Amino acid sequence: MPDSNANLVIPPLAGLCDFGAAQRPGMSVEECVSWHKRHHFVFRRLFELLTARITSEPLYELKTAFSHHAYLSAEHATALRTRVSEMREPPLGLDEVPHPGLELLCNEVQCAPDTQALLIGVYEVLVPELIASFDNYIATTNPLADAPSVRVARFALLELRDMSEFGRQAVRALCESRPAPPLDEWRRALSDCLLAAGGLSGRDLAPPLELRPHFSKTPFVFDPVPQRDARFHDSYNGGVNPEAFLYDERYSPRDKVLMLFYKRLREIDVPEMMASIIHQTAGKPWKYYRDMSRQLWDEARHAMLGEVGFVSQGIDWSSIPINFTWSLNLNTQLSARDRHAVLYFIEQGLMPRNGKRFEWEVATESGIPLARLIQDFDWADEVLHSQIGREWFVTEFPDLKSALSYGDRCWSMVLSQWQRYLDEQRTEHRNWWPELYRTACERWGVMPDPQTLAFDETYEEVRADLKAISGSA
């Protein structure tokens, strides 16, 4: 016989809340949607303004964090869009500005004149306001009737709090290392924007305030030239061609792992380039921006995996020149569409037998478990990236062959500037490989192989796919 008292010990209402909370008046669907749209607006603007700063941000840890937090913002904006679409018939009005005060607030943060002001605007204003607003939303809405919204809010809070903690530490670190800019007047201006908007929720009493732009008097201008911090030295150096080393059967898998770690860390140039595509491509469906943000974040993650790879071998990666001319040349020589063409062409080239599978096999044969793990996930991510390219780039062409041919032509148009950088004394194209290899062999307790030590192939006449460069002026 069923236990007639079971209902006395099993939580009611699927564990969502008690009966008291379930009887809370909450909000109407219209009120919920209005609040969601404001959260969505701020998340979307966070995605946009963080993405726009990736290329020009010198500090590596911030460059990668902006990549991550822009992606998280895009994901939460997507979740809110989905929830609004469940509650209302189209048109949903998700591209409308919910209040001029919120627009000015986000414009001010986007136009912050330096990194410290940007971090303060993002991590001491926008992110905390989102946290407080989502907490307030959960406390206000009916937790049973609006359970899907509560779930969206709880997931958002989980990652917003992670973002907030990162930002707290980053702001403190920067303020300890350099004088804090005078921002009291700006902070008051941001506070006024929120007051005028009735808070992020729009439900607070909004006093009549005259809002005036501060930093946003000067419109934001995207800087396509990648910036790196002092650990990235000799960034024009094209004196070592890691692809030529990887595909040469004379060298051992263990030694090739060093080049794999280098290639992964060098991938920080992909977010620098992709950020320019995203920022300079307008009018696409929202899913385009969400998908591209995911790919950009994956590439930043790959760079960090390369960093971890070097750390695992006791090697100081900052002793190696990490080249940035791929992102520099693409950002300054091609249109956003043509940059995307090159990106897709390269992604497709990673799928054949001598692409990501080959790198995974090399890592597996190296006997270094971490290298195998890194390449396993790197390979999986590139499969996704190829799918993203097919959806958002190939569909503009009659067929796949035409899209690939166009991408190849676009890449061929990019001047490597190898000789120019040498002539202008920006680099000597020093062969850094012997030094790295000797350091690794010392860590491994083995003697360097003379043939491996003598590797000396450059990027002077070939691209990363080992095709000849048409010009290097």
Predicted confidence (pLDDT) per residue in 134-193, tens digit = 999 999 999 999 999 999 999 999 999 999 999 999 999 998 888 877 899 999 999 999
> Which one, of 166, 150, 142, lies nearest residue 67 by Cα?
166
| DSSP 8-state class, residue 445 | T
User: For 333-363, b where at least 16 C-beta lie within 10 A, e where not — what string?
Assistant: ebebebbbbbbbbbbbbbeeeebbebbbebb
> How would DSSP label each residue in 414-443?
S---HHHHHHTTS------HHHHHHHHHHH
Q: Which amino acid is at 411?
A: W
**pLDDT for residue 2:** 56
Does residue 406 surpass a pLDDT of 50? yes
Q: What angle do CA 71, 72, 76 make, to 5 degrees?
A: 120
How many of the other CB atoms lie within 10 Å of CB of 438?
13
Calculate the CA 47 to chain-centre distance: 9
Q: Quote the CA–CA distance of 347 and 291 in Å, as a whole number.
A: 15
Q: Which residue has the tokens 């609040």?
A: 35
Query: What is the pLDDT at residue 219?
Result: 96
Mean pLDDT of all residues in 267-271: 98
pLDDT per residue over 366-377, tens digit each?
999 999 999 999
Average confidence (pLDDT) over 231-249: 96
Tokens of 462: 């070939």
The pLDDT score that the predictor gives to residue 473 is 41
Pinpoint the alpha helices (H) of 227-266.
242-246, 253-266
Structural contact between residues 101 and 193, judged by C-beta atoms closer than 8 angstroms = yes
Distance between CA 275 and CA 336 in Å, rounded?
A: 10
Question: What DSSP assignment string belongs to 334-385?
Answer: S-HHHHHHHHHHHHHHTSSTTTHHHHHHHHHHHT-HHHHHHHHHHHHHHHHH
Q: How confident is the model at residue 337 (pLDDT cuts 50, 70, 90)?
A: very high
Q: Report, as an integer, the average pLDDT of 316-322.
A: 97
Secondary structure (3-state) at 189? helix
Give me the chain's average pLDDT, please.
Answer: 95
pLDDT by residue (tens digit) across 185-228? 999 999 999 999 999 999 999 999 999 999 999 999 999 999 99
Q: So what's the pLDDT on residue 82?
A: 98
Q: Identify the weakest region by mean pLDDT among 17-21, 26-30, 347-351.
A: 347-351
